[in-house]
């Protein structure tokens, strides 16, 4: 079986498991005060070249929702892509954590929106007009839901609009490491130097078991985070489980190595698909995801060979203009991970070619 439906169908890197085991028996302070979590914060401050405030939680949904709530009152508006993960895939968690703030979707190709689109949308919600929810935050996903990336200039342009309208900038970095490797800049350049205020720093998909960091580049904004985390049930009593994972994830650049491998596997796959007649890729594969429209019989052949991908949505508003999945076609998402093997990719391509 080759399962590329998501990068969360595999377990953890061996180093992560070892770290959990190594952190096990000695008594440690509870509720996030353990030394592993504290060291992880120090390590991230080095990596991001700035004193950050960091909190560990178990899921991306929790990380995003808590980050949003730190910037958005119940009468606030969070601007995001209309098909972003926070808008479409978290069952309303952001609304729960913010006590009912509004996520305002922005349309745009390939999971991205432009600075202009953002400004146009913000203007619909004038500051101080009581009937309008108040602009509070913009959230961009890096990597996006379409596997694409914002360039540094695009992020800076979005952040400039945000600053002009006095709202914060959140980056949903569930696949932050994959983005970083692709763009080839420093973590600081990809975030606060480009104007990002708070980052959901994903680790689960890239080699951990359950570990995401919310990173505040301005510690003042984190003032109430501990209460929000506790109150949402996301403060682990045996916090070492998170701390040990995050430390090992950063140790010896495991996070970068894992992402580099996953991205290479995706590149291998997308280059292979590009050479198979009948396969179209609506978006450039820029990280560790490959989206492919293919004949149904090719999809069936993969499935029969126990090669699993995720059926994707055909109503996507991020599609290239004119693109349409036909009745005899399937639209599939393939996601590679640290655990994907090169010969698995070969098998996928061989099977597809044969169909």
Pick from 273, 335, 302, 265: nearest CA to 4 = 335
Does residue 132 bind its own copies (CB under 8 A)? Answer: yes
Instruction: Report, in Å, the least distance between residue 94 CB and its own copies.
Output: 8
Does residue 240 bind its own copies (CB under 8 A)? Answer: yes
- For residue 202, the cross-strand partners are 212
Length of the chain: 355
Structure tokens at 180: 């970083």
Span of 142-150, 193-201, 204-212, 320-328 interacting with its own copies by CB under 8 A: 204-212
d(CA 313, CA 89): 12
Span of 97-105, 165-173, 251-259, 282-290 interacting with its own copies by CB under 8 A: 97-105
Touching its own copies, residues 133-152 (CB under 8 A): 133-134
**Could you tell me where the DSSP H helices lie in 152-222?**
152-164, 176-183, 187-190
Span of 5-13, 139-147, 252-260, 297-305 interacting with its own copies by CB under 8 A: 5-13
Does residue 23 bind its own copies (CB under 8 A)? Answer: yes
Does residue 300 bind its own copies (CB under 8 A)? Answer: no
Span of 40-48, 162-170, 236-244, 274-282 interacting with its own copies by CB under 8 A: 236-244
Does residue 164 bind its own copies (CB under 8 A)? Answer: no
Does residue 278 bind its own copies (CB under 8 A)? Answer: no
Does residue 105 bind its own copies (CB under 8 A)? Answer: yes
**Whole-number Cα distances in Å, 68 to 102, 103, 168, 216, 327:** 11, 10, 9, 11, 39
Q: Residue 267, Cα to own-chain centre: how many angstroms? A: 19
Does residue 321 bind its own copies (CB under 8 A)? Answer: no
Among 235, 263, 330, 351, binds its own copies (CB under 8 A): 235
Does residue 226 bind its own copies (CB under 8 A)? Answer: yes
**Sequence-ordered list of residues with C-beta below 8 angstroms from that of 96, at least 6 positions apart, any chain:** 65
Q: Residue 306, Cα to own-chain centre: how many angstroms? A: 27
Touching its own copies, residues 58-87 (CB under 8 A): 58-63, 65-66, 73-75
Of 30 and 151, CB closest to its own copies = 30
d(CA 244, CA 21): 9
Span of 89-97, 252-260, 261-269, 279-287 interacting with its own copies by CB under 8 A: 89-97
Instruction: Report, in Å, the least distance between residue 282 CB and its own copies.
Output: 17
Contact 90, 64 (CB under 8 A): yes
Pick from 355, 97, 112, 60: nearest CA to 232 = 97
């Amino acid at each position: 079986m080759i399962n590329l439906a998501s990068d969360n169908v595999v377990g953890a890197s061996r180093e992560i498991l070892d770290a959990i085991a190594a952190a096990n028996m000695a008594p440690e302070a509870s509720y996030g005060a353990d030394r592993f979590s504290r060291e992880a914060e120090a390590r991230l401050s080095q990596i991001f070249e700035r004193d950050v405030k960091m909190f560990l939680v178990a899921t991306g949904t929790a990380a995003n929702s808590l980050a949003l709530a730190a910037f958005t009152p119940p009468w606030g508006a969070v601007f995001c892509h209309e098909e972003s993960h926070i808008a479409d895939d978290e069952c309303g968690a952001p609304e729960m954590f913010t006590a009912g703030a509004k996520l305002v979707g922005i349309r745009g190709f390939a999971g991205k929106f432009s600075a202009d689109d953002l400004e146009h949308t913000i203007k619909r919600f004038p500051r101080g007009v009581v009937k309008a929810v108040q602009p509070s935050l913009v959230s961009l996903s890096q990597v996006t839901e379409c596997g694409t990336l914002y360039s540094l200039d695009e992020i800076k342009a979005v952040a400039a609009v945000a600053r002009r309208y006095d709202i914060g900038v959140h980056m949903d970095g569930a696949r932050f490491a994959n983005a970083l490797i692709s763009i080839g800049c420093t973590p600081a350049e990809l975030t606060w130097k480009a104007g990002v205020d708070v980052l959901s720093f994903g680790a689960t998909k890239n080699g951990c078991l359950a570990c995401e960091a919310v990173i505040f580049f301005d510690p003042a904004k984190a003032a109430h985070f501990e209460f929000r985390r506790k109150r949402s049930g996301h403060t682990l009593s045996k916090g070492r489980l998170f701390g040990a994972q995050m430390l090992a994830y950063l140790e010896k650049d495991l996070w970068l190595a894992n992402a580099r491998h996953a991205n290479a596997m995706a590149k291998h796959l997308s280059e292979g698909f590009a050479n198979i007649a009948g396969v179209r890729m609506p978006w450039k594969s820029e990280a560790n995801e490959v989206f492919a429209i293919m004949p149904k019989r090719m999809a069936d052949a993969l499935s029969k060979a126990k090669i699993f991908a995720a059926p994707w949505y055909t109503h996507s508003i991020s599609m290239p203009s004119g693109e349409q999945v036909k009745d005899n076609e399937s639209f599939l998402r393939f996601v590679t991970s640290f655990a994907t093997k090169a010969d698995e990719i070969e098998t996928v391509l061989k099977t597809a070619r044969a169909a």
